Amino acid sequence: MNDQRISTGIAGLDALLHGGLVKGRTYLVTGDTGTGKTIACLQLLQQVLTQGEKAVYVTVDERPSEITDSALSFSWNLQHHIQEKNLAILDASPYFSGRSASATEKGIDPQKIVADLSSYVKRLGASLLIIDPVTPFILPADAKSPTQDQARSLINLIQTQMSTTNLLTAHLSTRSSHDQTFGIEEFLASGTFLLKAQRAGDKFQRSLTIRKMRSTAVLPGEYPFEINSTHGIVFQDRAASTQTDAPPMFENFQLPAK
């Protein structure tokens, strides 16, 4: 059976992923502040819109106008897609800022969140859903750290109620040992990407690590990339070329089926 793939819009990455993300699955992008999570989302978004597909982008930390502005800095005009009803940017921040009053008692109800999202997605006919970041949706009002139950049910609901390909982001501080992704990865059907910006000599080196990728023969590895103003995330030659004209350096041996 052939998996249908959707291009991530990141050339070197698509090659690594044998074409892109598997359609209809859920993916997680984690990384510290400023590592490029939102840019990765926007790039996938732009790619999908360019293909004539529709998308829903849920933002929590930034306002929709900030999202469209940062897209515009890469010359990706989202405004146009919003007008054409190819894209809906949903601002969830009022919900969370109002939490102290009404939402505290109820906590966060994944059932309701997903039902609301699902109706938007269906009305628009979207094939891509981005939640950037997903973390607030799984943070119960009464606890400092999110619960695994909440994460599990949110992801299960997303997977069962929608046919979209889903990209979720979660902040992950490399400076703190506290893992804010608290195992979202475990429940995710399909894949996790970790973005990093590390000091290398006198400059920062950005890298993407594929931590998990179902249905795709890719070894976990760290791939350097750059962000430029015309293409967004661009994999550096070395990573892209070693991977395209050579097989992965290490191939995990599997016993032949009996």
Task: Find tokens 């994460």 and name the residue.
Answer: 151
Least distance from C-beta 254 to other proteins, angstroms? 8
Least distance from C-beta 34 to other proteins, angstroms? 22
How far, in Å, are 8, 151, 190 from residue 187 at the CA level? Answer: 22, 8, 9
Helix (H) or strand (E) holding 166, with range, is strand 165-171
Q: Which of 219, 226, 228, 244 binds other proteins (CB under 8 A)?
A: 219
Residue 166 to residue 131: CA distance in whole angstroms: 8
81 or 206: CB nearest other proteins: 206
- Rule CB under 8 A: is residue 255 a binding residue for other proteins? yes
Least distance from C-beta 216 to other proteins, angstroms? 15
Give the list of residues 6+ apart from residue 27 with CB closer than 8 angstroms, or none.
21, 165, 166, 167, 168, 188, 190, 191, 192, 193
Mark the segment that binds other proteins (CB under 8 A) among 101-109, 126-134, 145-153, 240-248. Answer: 240-248
Q: Which of 94, 175, 253, 257 binds other proteins (CB under 8 A)?
A: 253
For strands 87-91 and 26-31, give the pairing: unpaired
- Rule CB under 8 A: is residue 222 a binding residue for other proteins? yes
- Rule CB under 8 A: is residue 257 a binding residue for other proteins? no
Residue 73 to residue 139: CA distance in whole angstroms: 31
Mark the segment that binds other proteins (CB under 8 A) among 10-18, 73-81, 170-178, 213-221. Answer: 213-221
Q: Which of 147, 156, 236, 242 binds other proteins (CB under 8 A)?
A: 242
Contact indicator for 134, 29 with CB cutoff of 8 Å: no
- Rule CB under 8 A: is residue 1 a binding residue for other proteins? no
